């Protein structure tokens, strides 16, 4: 995709969000996703002639992914790069030769020319760097998940409440057009009452990166070790659990699950297979599963309603009864005529099929849209990450906070960490009172 095309995509999303206020249910959706309200063409015009000066802290694959996305953001300039691993730093410097290079993030935070920082480090470094950045007066864009521990998440949340700085977490589905439109459809009643959610993420990859020297194993392959990673939950599930909360408009009250190292028995400490059930107070449940030794099922975010199913990951929805205007007997006769059945079942006039049938897929968006297969460990094209980064760079200029972005990251990260605790302790975990915040509705 060319930079011109990327910019057109950005403007298209901005226009879509601006137009939401004028469509049925759109204003209500913007009320539940208020972070979108500042992301419009009119807001972009306000910063068109200005630049946010950004430092990238953590220049590995994800950091370089953000660098490439920033090339298409006209209101941003990369002025500094930082990494403790020299090969990554040099690779990033080759992309941005005008940027200053550092191996100590604290030196970056001392630079008066830096307006904001992008943190793309291992999870255990998120909280220390973010808190230091806020203390230094910098705006912050941090990779998900929010932090390594529940205590750190609460510290970040509390600090942010008293800060005048902007903080974004890269929960990119918040800026993915098919998710935004799909949630609008759900909340307008298209699939009826939400009765469940089924989310999964399958890959077939060991998650390992090449290690040039043994002493670098834990720093390069940090995702595999508990001292620096929350494994599949904080790397993958955080996105999907967030979406379920949008659809249900609440937070699960408890979680239980099982985690194992099934296939990749290579010294790693985090699970390569997880299965969990999150339970809402109204009885609705999220069934969540992730396996990284089989990719057949790919990635899906299914919201189940009495009248249909919304698959937000694929951008499609399916209705339980497409012939909603026909009586039960008319549907039955039609299916007999189509030879769906070999015999007429005994049923009354209100009979409808109760088991799985051939569903017609309907696209959430009318135009072409991007769908990620979930395989990449770096990031997908136009998955919302670029738009979210653009919104952050805009906010570095205007100082306008993205409403509820920190709260969303906090909520989904806590659920992931509680999921890990439930698997480790092999018991049901209730959401702890001490970590509830006013934003949460149970």
Sheet with 76-82: strands ordered across: 100-102, 76-82, 52-57, 116-119, 139-142, 167-169
pLDDT score at 291: 98
- Strands (DSSP E) contained in 249-359 are 254-260, 273-279, 285-291, 299-305, 308-311, 316-319
In CATH terms, 193-376+410-435 corresponds, of 3.30.360.10, 1.10.630.10, 3.40.50.300, 3.30.9.10, to 3.30.360.10
**Cβ(55)–Cβ(108) under 8 Å?**
yes
- pLDDT, tens digit (0-9, with 9 covering 90-100), for 361-402: 999 998 777 787 777 767 777 789 999 999 999 999 999 999
Q: Give the pLDDT of residue 403.
A: 96
CA–CA dist 351, 356 (Å, integer)? 15
| pLDDT band of 353, cuts 50, 70, 90 | low
Candidates 337, 424, 407, 420; CA nearest to 171 is 407
In the chain, CATH 3.40.50.720 sits at 3-174+381-405
Give the pLDDT band of residue 321 (cuts 50, 70, 90).
Answer: confident
What integer pLDDT is reported at residue 323 of this predicted model? Answer: 59
Segment 39-54 shows an average pLDDT of 93
* Angstrom distance (rounded) from CA 154 to CA 167: 14
Question: For residue 6, is pLDDT > 90?
Answer: no
pLDDT band at 19 (very low <50, low <70, confident <90, very high): confident
**CATH code for the part of the protein at 3-174+381-405:** 3.40.50.720
Tell me the mean pLDDT in the region 130-136: 98
Q: Which has the closest alpha carbon to 392: 120, 112, 32?
A: 120
**Tokens of residue 190, six digits:** 């298209």
Percent of the chain with pLDDT over 70: 89
Query: What pLDDT digit, counting tens, does each position of 158-211 carry?
Result: 999 999 999 999 999 999 999 999 999 999 999 999 999 999 999 999 999 999
Of the candidates 191, 199, 183, 197, the one whose C-alpha atom is nearest the C-alpha of residue 306 is 191
Strands (E), 308-432: 308-311, 316-319, 362-363, 429-430
**Least confidently predicted of 45-49, 265-269, 314-318, 364-368:** 364-368
Quick one: pLDDT at residue 328? 45
What residues does 167 pair with on adjacent strands? 140
- The whole-number pLDDT of residue 271 equals 98
Provide the pLDDT confidence category of residue 13 given band limits of 50, 70 and 90: confident
CATH 3.30.360.10 domain residues, the chain: 193-376+410-435
Considering only 70-84, 193-207, 226-240, 310-324, which range has the smallest mean pLDDT? Answer: 310-324
Task: State residue 348's pLDDT score.
Answer: 39
For residues 230-240, give the mean pLDDT.
97
Q: How far apart are CA 3 and CA 193, in angstroms?
A: 41
What average pLDDT does the structure give for the chain? 90
């Amino acid at each position: 995709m060319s930079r011109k095309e990327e910019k057109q995509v950005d403007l298209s999303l901005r226009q879509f969000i601006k137009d939401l206020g004028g469509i049925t249910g759109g204003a209500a959706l913007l009320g539940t996703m208020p972070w979108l309200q500042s992301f419009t063409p009119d807001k972009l015009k306000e910063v068109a002639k200005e630049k946010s000066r950004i430092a990238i802290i953590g220049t590995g694959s994800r950091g370089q992914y953000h660098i490439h996305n920033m090339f298409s953001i006209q209101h941003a300039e990369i002025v500094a790069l930082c990494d403790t691993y020299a090969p990554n730093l040099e690779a990033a410097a080759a992309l941005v030769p005008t940027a200053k290079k550092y191996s100590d993030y604290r030196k970056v935070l001392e630079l008066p020319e830096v307006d904001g920082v992008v943190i793309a480090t291992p999870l255990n470094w998120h909280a220390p760097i973010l808190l230091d950045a806020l203390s230094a007066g910098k705006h912050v864009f941090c990779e998900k998940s929010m932090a390594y521990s529940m205590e750190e998440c609460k510290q970040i949340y509390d600090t942010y409440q008293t800060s005048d700085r902007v903080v974004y977490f890269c929960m990119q589905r918040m800026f993915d057009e098919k998710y935004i439109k799909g949630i609008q459809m759900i909340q307008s009643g298209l699939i009826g009452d939400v009765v469940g959610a089924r989310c999964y993420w399958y890959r077939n990859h060991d998650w390992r990166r090449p290690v040039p020297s043994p002493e670098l194993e834990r720093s390069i392959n940090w995702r595999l070790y508990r001292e620096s990673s929350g494994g599949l939950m904080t790397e993958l599930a955080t996105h999907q659990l967030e979406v379920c909360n949008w659809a249900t408009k609440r937070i699960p009250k408890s979680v239980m699950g099982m985690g194992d190292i099934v296939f990749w028995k290579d010294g790693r400490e985090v699970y390569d297979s997880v299965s969990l059930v999150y339970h809402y107070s109204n009885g609705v449940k999220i069934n969540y599963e992730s396996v990284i030794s089989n990719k057949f099922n790919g990635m899906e975010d299914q919201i189940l309603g009495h009248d249909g199913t919304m698959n937000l990951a694929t951008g499609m929805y399916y209705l339980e009864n497409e012939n909603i205007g026909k009586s039960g007997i008319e549907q039955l006769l039609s299916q007999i005529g189509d030879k769906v059945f070999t015999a007429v079942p005994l049923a009354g006039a209100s009979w409808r099929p109760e088991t799985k049938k051939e569903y017609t897929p309907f696209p959430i968006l009318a135009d072409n849209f991007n769908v990620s297969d979930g395989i990449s460990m770096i990031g997908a094209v136009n998955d919302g990450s670029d738009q979210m980064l653009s919104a952050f760079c805009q906010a570095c200029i205007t100082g306008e906070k993205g409403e509820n972005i920190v709260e969303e990251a906090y909520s989904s990260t806590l659920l992931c960490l509680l999921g890990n605790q439930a698997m480790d302790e092999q018991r049901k975990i209730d959401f702890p009172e001490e970590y509830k915040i006013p934003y949460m509705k149970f």
